[in-house]
Amino acid sequence: MSKFLSSRFSSLVPYTPGEQPRDMEYVKLNTNESPFPPSNKVIEAVNSEEVKKLNLYPDPTGIALISALAKTYNVGEENVFISNGSDDILNFSFMAFCDKDKGAFFPEISYGFYEVYAELYGVNYKKVPLKSDFSINPADYYNAGNTVVIANPNAPTGLALSLAEIEEILKANPNDVVIIDEAYVDFGAESCVPLTKKYNNLIVVMTYSKSRSLAGGRLGFAIASAELISDLNTIKYSTNPYNINRLTMAAGIASLEDDDYYKACNKNTAEVREYTKAEIEKLGFTSTNSKANFLFAKSNKVGGEQYYLALKSKGVLVRHFKNEKIKDYVRINIVTKEQIDILLAKTNEILN
């Protein structure tokens, strides 16, 4: 820390992204990316005339992409917000909807960035414990009196709440914002976008990083009531109005024209997830009933860190968290069956 850093941030512990080592080529199962390339239309759109226009700012309103998303999700243009990855939307939401009087409730085991944002903005927060099976108890969030943030499916457990359970949380918090982070929803959970028409306190946050093969493009979006979208725009126009670059905007629009391609990719991921679950359980692992593009699993023979390190030495990277409650587990990104077969073979070697 330099002597120049504001004392406000002296104890801030930043988020640690999954490692991206360069020492050798790994089978990378640690950052939940898609193994599939963007669709052909996306590749064409990015290679086109757009590149020649990089001397010009992108449209700050992003209306072409917003309009395409509104059509896809059957909502109005005033109900859509786009941003530089969904982390940006979560950041803006903590900035917009939390302060010293209004804190945040989120699950104790969830996406690590929620706590970082709460610390960054100095807001009070409660990490709500999960049940012993790692599921979320919706009633723990009733009458929260605070902004509620829930990843659905949750990360890194992969467990999802039903639409009815989320609706109960919304009903029980009419005066507070409820943020549902649907980063992994396209792999088998139910989206609560339709509830945005009924509940003006709901923000559904989504990303192109996983189910639309665009993690490197950095594109996220939110769907909510016009009032909440307007609040997010207040923050956007107070920080970085040009928050989506031209190429990413073109890629985002083109990807919506290739919906069938992405649906097929996501279906494949869900199938490979079930295959991985069945095969790894044959090796003595237990795993949660994940609805995401990852599996959360623990061995009955080796500890989580030991397994992670042994896999790494064999060229396979998975994600291990040091948190005491989940230290026996690893999170495994579901990729192609061929890559998963390498993971399974290396796991066999480690166990024997």
Where along the sequence are the contacts to ligand PMP (CB under 6 A)?
Answer: 85-87, 111, 151, 155, 181, 183, 207, 209, 215, 220
How many whole angstroms separate alpha carbon 277 and alpha carbon 294? 10
Tokens of residue 66, six digits: 């917003």
**319, two tokens:** 């994600």
Q: Which is nearer to ligand PMP, 218 or 298 (CB)?
A: 218
Residue 120 or 283 with smaller CB distance to ligand PMP = 120
In the complex, the smallest distance separating the C-beta of residue 209 from ligand PMP, rounded to whole angstroms, is 3
136 to 143, 151, 324: CA distances (angstroms): 16, 10, 18
CB 196 within 8 A of CB 79: yes
Least distance (Å) between residue 108 CB and ligand PMP: 15
Nearest approach in angstroms of CB 88 to ligand PMP is 7
Residue with Cβ nearer ligand PMP (73 or 111)? 111
Other Cβ atoms less than 10 A from the Cβ of 286: the count is 14
The rounded Cα 184 to chain-centroid distance in angstroms is: 6
1/13 with CB nearer ligand PMP: 13
Distance, CA of 138 to chain centre: 20
Q: SS3 for 333?
A: strand
CA 113 – CA 183 distance, rounded (Å): 13
Shortest reach from residue 239's CB to ligand PMP, in Å: 16
Beta bridge partners of 126: 105
- Cα separation, 212 vs 251, in Å, equals 10
Q: Using the minimum distance from each CB to ligand PMP, give the nearer residue, 215 or 310.
A: 215
CB of 291: closest distance to ligand PMP in angstroms? Answer: 13
Q: Closest Cα to residue 288, out of 161, 169, 103, 133?
A: 133
Pairing of strands 80-83, 220-224: antiparallel
CB of 273 to ligand PMP, least distance (A): 16
* C-alpha dist (Å) from residue 126 to 105, 115, 214: 5, 9, 32
Q: Which is nearer to ligand PMP, 15 or 242 (CB)?
A: 15
Least distance from ligand PMP to the Cβ atom of residue 228, Å = 18
